[in-house]
């Protein structure tokens, strides 16, 4: 998966951060912020999905990119269709929909 060089400016390893958010199953995470946060959320989703964990995403900014998740699956020789069955996305466009 390709992410911008800005991702290197996290104070700790992004992989360590991703792993801490993914386990244990059933955990709820609220992420908000700039573009770096959206890149982190993609890494978190991909990591969980690669382990077979289904995830739910509520996207309030219409920036969650499932095409990158599909590419992530293909790069790892995973069936993209089966991989994407593990994600449920809801896009809220108003505060009432969130």
Q: Where are the domains of the chain?
A: 5-91
At residue 56, the pLDDT reads 87
Residue 73 has a pLDDT of: 92
Token digits of residue 20? 């801490």
**DSSP character for 23?**
P
Residue 23's pLDDT is 64
Please list the ranges in the chain whose pLDDT falls under 50.
1-7, 10
43, two tokens? 């890494």
What pLDDT does 14 receive?
Answer: 65
At 47 the pLDDT is 86
* pTM (global) more than 0.85: no
């Amino acid at each position: 998966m390709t992410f911008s060089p800005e991702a290197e400016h996290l104070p700790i390893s992004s992989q360590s951060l991703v792993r801490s958010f993914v386990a244990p199953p059933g955990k709820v995470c609220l992420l908000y912020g700039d573009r770096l946060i959206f890149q982190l959320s993609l890494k978190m989703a991909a990591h969980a999905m690669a382990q077979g964990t289904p995830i739910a995403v509520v996207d309030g900014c219409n920036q969650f990119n499932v095409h990158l998740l599909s590419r992530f699956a293909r790069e790892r020789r995973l069936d993209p269709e089966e991989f994407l069955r593990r994600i449920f996305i809801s896009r809220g466009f108003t505060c009432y929909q969130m």
